[in-house]
Structure 1
Amino acid sequence: MNRFITKTKPQQTNKRDVAQKRPAPVGDENTPTASSGIIQESPNKKAEETSLMAKLHTAIRHGDAQFTFDTLSKNRPFDNAMNVSSRTSKLFKNTKFFQKTMTKMEFSPSYSAPGSEFMLLSVDESVVNAFKEGQGLTIRGETTDEAVLCTDDSTFPMKIIESATTVLLLHNSLEAPDSPTLPNFQVEMIDGKCYATGELCPVVDVLNVGRLKDMLREQELRWDWKDREEEEKLKGYRLRDLLDSVQMSVEEVKTALIDLPVVKFPNGKYRYLSHKFRGEMLGLIVEMIDEDSNNDVKLESISFVGLRKHLPENVPDQVIEWFLKSRCEKIPDKNEYRLPEENLIRDLTVVILYGTGKMPLNQFSELLGKILPFGVEVKETVFEGIADISDASFGKVITYLGPEDLPDTIKERMLHLFEYRKLWSMEQLRPYFKDVYKSKVSFDKYVVQNCEYSLSETGEMLYCGVR
């Protein structure tokens, strides 16, 4: 209904003159005036509209679809779909414009429950594909951590944006209903709300080994564990315990565990082998290898049965299996292994240098030579990635730089290495980061983007600090 009715076209006059000459309203206050050519609406009209709105609210609350439809059809002139011509109605017949179904949204009883609070998250396409493949999506992190989203094999840092606007969530999608004969309501329940949105940062290409090592070392397996056997049986972490605190995916945690001296026991718990435990066990194995009368354990032929026969009870079967699989090489078609000389030298180097940190190279070489089986030759290149040889005023010094005991964050480890030595080539740096970087490419990219460099006399690029 048009609320603006013009009686006659007013003559063009100066608006200021008209405003000044306009007489004040006279007579009954309900009598409309026509001096400006416009009929003013009366208070009764407003009362009717207020009453109509109240009736409309009541009809919606009580599900009176017929009254609601009729009222909206007559009182929404802006909705052309309600007032199309007969010709147009033939063209658009059976379209959504002529459906008599109205969507009515209600708050569900669970709306006030804590479980109805959600966060909208913008994700990477790879995350969507992983979800479609059936992989789980898990948000991990302690209360003091920045949250991360993990698929089965990748980790994505999350950026959370708090919002002052509350977004209402309807879990059922709104679809166009069939055209009914009589008007009716389609009820959609508002059963959630959102106060924040988040987006994923690029996938991380490093393993968060720091917290993993800290947890495992708290309950590491010591050489004298038999003295308190009942207490020791309760120690260790299951995989789910580690995942609750470590911000890595399942596959990333498993990869990190392979590179660490960690053993999984029959109860499903993982234990870290202490330096003392590994040193004592390795010393016994070297004695077996060096003993001519012992044919069960040799560098070229080691078996589980042979080691079990000669090692004490405080070396569990699972530790023997770990040693064979991680430090030895399987002989094809046999239940035997060979112990590479390189692995033996590197493991003994860790045992010797762990406590002292560094020592003169000649003293180290003499000690190592006494321990190694006869005939094993030591080359300086074998220490790459666990120790480094440098010059000092009194001669050469060998320094322990095992990744297992270096700082765990990339930047801190870099600073530690540059403090030890000023210039490093890419090839020299790379072995000290194998435990944290997933690929050679990702490590090289980090060094190029974050490290200062200079050129040697031969044109070789040498890195000298962190930007």
Structure 2
Amino acid sequence: MRPQVPAGLHVLLAAPAVSQSWRRAGVLCCGRGPGAMRTLEEIRATLEVAKLDPADLQPSVQCISFSENVSSGDYCLMELDETLCRCIESGQSLIIRGDKDEHAVLCSEDKTYDLKVADTSNMLLIIPDCKTPDQLPPNTSAQQLTHCQIFGFAKSYWELKRSRPKLRKLKKLLMENPYNGPSGENERNLEYPKYTRAELLERIQASEQELMQQLQLLRAYRIEGYWRILELDYEMKLLNHVTQLVDSESWSFSKVPLSICLQELELLEPREMIEHCLNCYGKPYTNEGEVFYALNEDEVCKSVALMLLQNAVKFNLSEFEEVWQQSVPEGMSTRLDQLKGVALVDRNSRPQVIFQLNVEDLPESIQDRFNSLFNIREKWTEDDIAPYIQGLCGEKQTTGSLLTKYARSSVQNGVKVYSSRRPV
């Protein structure tokens, strides 16, 4: 069962080793109720009846009883691994995130975990003052008695499982009000929502580090404190300004000077937008104290292709390849493998066609992702389907293992293909 998190719930964190160590804790004796604690004489008599030798036990005796305000509804137990325990011990925060219609997840600074309720046949007692064996005083010859009270109990606890961040909603939120340049910020745009980093963290089920990485992948930019995604037409306008300047100055695509770009183009667009465009499509480096950018040919060609495909349901492949090559900056070469994960070629149609299929628009859950893909195409080669499922792989998974589990393989015209294991 996946939990939703009720308001006002107290979460108690425990390492797995804690519960395993109580068998070595010496003697735990239950009191007879609030205010009625056992004495050492009564404990010795109980041990004698149970035929236990006190010499085989630690001399410290913890006598527990129920407090007057004991409750099972105010607390929930959560089991942490060593990594998350170290996060807590070092002062970091663990945050539970999720809207009312979402299953709760736990986020550290850089990872996301699914929460799952695990039932246990043993009653779990919440005793703040109870001590584990390593916290007990050193062995002494005389028995020592301490009293502890039970403040709560539970029959289940939350298990954590490392999971992928749920980031699909991020693009949807940012596309509510894309940035179309300074001239596009009219009164209509001001009515649509904009989000700060803190507001996105409230809405997105991901750690802060995972969120920031996805913002970078979406080429989002922080404008006046709000994260905005650029309208594709405006992004291509910025890119065209840069590539036209490169062509007019006869620069190499691997050596585009930042300072001259900003000086030459600041009358057309804001300097920060020009620099953002260079960061999206190039990699900065310093040479003799001056900053240069090496433009990424694959990224430039991919964005030009997306611009051509955005309004076409399907595009004749041969015509597309011709128009695509003519549309990219002179000196760059287009290849279909630049479009993995954003466009798909149908080689079985006559004539062959290409259409946009962006992995960012597919469902996040594994089974739903495969269902969606097999709705689009009944049979897939591994080369075609791999870009659309590789992001689903866990830490020790491969696309091959996912296909083995969620698809059925067969051979068609001498080529291995994959189809759905269930009716779609």
- Give the TM-score, by structure 2 length: 0.71
One-letter code of the match for 1:253? L
Is it true that 1:244 corresponds to 2:199 in the alignment? no
Is it true that 1:281 corresponds to 2:241 in the alignment? no
Which of 212, 216, 220 does residue 170 from structure 2 map onto?
212
- Segments of 5+ residues of structure 2 without an aligned counterpart are 1-30
Is it true that 1:107 corresponds to 2:67 in the alignment? yes
Partner of 2:76: 119
After superposition, where does 1:170-319 map in structure 2 within 5 Å?
170-174=127-131, 186-190=146-150, 192-195=151-154, 197-200=156-159, 202-204=161-163, 206-223=164-181, 224-228=183-187, 231=190, 235-238=194-197, 240-265=198-223, 267=225, 269-290=226-247, 292=248, 294=249, 299-311=253-265, 315-319=269-273
Which of 107, 110, 122 does residue 150 from structure 1 map onto?
107
**Residue 104 to residue 135, structure 1, CA distance change in 2 (3 Å):** closer
**Residue 331 to residue 438, structure 1, CA distance change in 2 (3 Å):** farther
One-letter code of the match for 2:316? P
* DSSP-derived class of the 2:186 partner: helix
Give the deviation of 1:278 after TM superposition: 1.9
Give the deviation of 1:344 after TM superposition: 1.6
Is it true that 1:387 corresponds to 2:336 in the alignment? no
Aligned residues: CA RMSD: 4.5
Counterpart-to-counterpart distance in 2, 1:371 and 1:449: 42
Which of 305, 313, 321 does residue 357 from structure 1 map onto?
313
Give the deviation of 1:439 after TM superposition: 6.3
**Residue 359 to residue 439, structure 1, CA distance change in 2 (3 Å):** farther
Q: Percent of pairs identical after alignment?
A: 20
Give the deviation of 1:118 after TM superposition: 1.5
Counterpart-to-counterpart distance in 2, 1:394 and 1:406: 26
Counterpart-to-counterpart distance in 2, 1:368 and 1:396: 16
Per-residue CA distance 1:284-340 (angstroms, 9 max, x = gap):
3344344x3x46x76343233344345467855444333323321334535111223
**Residue 466 to residue 150, structure 1, CA distance change in 2 (3 Å):** farther
**Residue 410 to residue 321, structure 1, CA distance change in 2 (3 Å):** farther
Give the deviation of 1:234 after TM superposition: 7.9
Counterpart-to-counterpart distance in 2, 1:410 and 1:305: 46
User: Is contact 1:156-1:200 (8 Å) kept?
Assistant: no
Partner of 2:388: 432
One-letter code of the match for 2:169? R
The structure having more radius of gyration, on CA atoms, is 1
Counterpart-to-counterpart distance in 1, 2:266 and 2:313: 29
Give the deviation of 1:353 after TM superposition: 0.6
One-letter code of the match for 2:77? L
User: Is contact 1:454-1:461 (8 Å) kept?
Assistant: yes
- Segments of 5+ residues of structure 1 without an aligned counterpart are 1-55
**Residue 314 to residue 357, structure 1, CA distance change in 2 (3 Å):** farther
- Give the TM-score, by structure 1 length: 0.65
User: Is contact 1:123-1:199 (8 Å) kept?
Assistant: no
One-letter code of the match for 2:283? E
Counterpart-to-counterpart distance in 1, 2:145 and 2:388: 67
User: Is contact 2:64-2:148 (8 Å) kept?
Assistant: yes
Counterpart-to-counterpart distance in 2, 1:256 and 1:441: 21
User: Is contact 1:160-1:198 (8 Å) kept?
Assistant: yes
Per-residue CA distance 1:215-239 (angstroms, 9 max, x = gap):
222343234433349948982231x
Counterpart-to-counterpart distance in 2, 1:322 and 1:436: 29
User: Is contact 1:303-1:337 (8 Å) kept?
Assistant: yes
Partner of 1:35: none
Counterpart-to-counterpart distance in 2, 1:368 and 1:177: 76
